[in-house]
Chain A
Amino acid sequence: GQQVMQIPQYQHVQEGEDFTTYCNSSTTLSNIQWYKQRPGGHPVFLIQLVKSGEVKKQKRLTFQFGEAKKNSSLHITATQTTDVGTYFCAAHSGGSNYKLTFGKGTLLTVNP
């Protein structure tokens, strides 16, 4: 079945440093979504990318979808303690199959 690889598994940064997590698939994706899960919480939708080469920004967060629609990244500029949590990518392969495949996530911790 479809697999989505996400790296790194963990990332510890000092407040103010940048952070990037990467997501890769062996198959072409219909779209990719990013979610954030705070410790003890549930995943919260951040964004959906659909178009090849798409770049979207939300304040300090920048999301990219690769040209081949097989990879994606999330970059956070100047991290803050409120950014702490696990960031997941989730891929939808398209068609009538509504299955959403999540990566294992990247746990971000921020030292104030």
Chain B
Amino acid sequence: DAGVTQSPTHLIKTRGQHVTLRCSPISGHKSVSWYQQVLGQGPQFIFQYYEKEERGRGNFPDRFSARQFPNYSSELNVNALLLGDSALYLCASSTITGGSWEQFFGPGTRLTVL
């Protein structure tokens, strides 16, 4: 079975630009979460979507937005990019059934803002 896929793998943008990151969850998983991981730190929670509805939001500015599509894939959008947005953006899918909160992470998108 295919794991979580993310695109693109790497991305270079300049300050002020907009970026869209994409994620496809494991087949059958209805929950998708987005995390930002800065080098040397743990993943920081950005959003969680379940059944196309936002179920959780981390402490990120309104420049960050996301959505989940009917096929459970998801997009993360970041507007007005800042240098500090440079990070690895991870998508994770899960089933959230039977009390298991196991997150299956994708390989991530490495975003560099110049």
Contact = CB atoms under 8 A, between A and B. Distances in A.
A54 B108 CA distance: 32
B45 A42 contact: no
A43 B58 contact: no
A42 B105 contact: yes
Contact of B48 (A33, A90, A99, A102): A99
B101 A43 contact: no
Contacts of B31: 98
Interface of A: 1, 6, 31, 33, 35, 41-45, 48, 50, 88, 90, 92, 96-105
Contacts of A43: 43, 90, 92, 103, 105
A101 B105 contact: no
B103 A100 contact: yes
B55 A42 contact: no
Interface of B: 31, 33, 35, 40-45, 48, 50, 55-59, 90, 92, 96, 99-108
23 contacts: A6-B42, A31-B101, A42-B90, A42-B105, A42-B106, A43-B92, A43-B105, A44-B105, A45-B104, A48-B100, A50-B99, A88-B43, A90-B42, A90-B103, A97-B55, A97-B56, A98-B33, A99-B58, A100-B33, A100-B103, A102-B43, A102-B44, A104-B42
A104 B37 CA distance: 10
Given A33-B103, A98-B50, A100-B45, 20 more contacts: A35-B103, A42-B90, A42-B108, A43-B90, A43-B105, A44-B105, A45-B103, A45-B104, A50-B99, A92-B101, A97-B55, A98-B101, A99-B48, A99-B56, A100-B33, A102-B43, A102-B44, A102-B45, A104-B40, A105-B42
Contacts of B35: 102
A83 to B, nearest CB: 18
A54 to B, nearest CB: 13
B33 A1 contact: no
A48 B43 contact: no
B41 to A, nearest CB: 6
Contacts of A6: 42
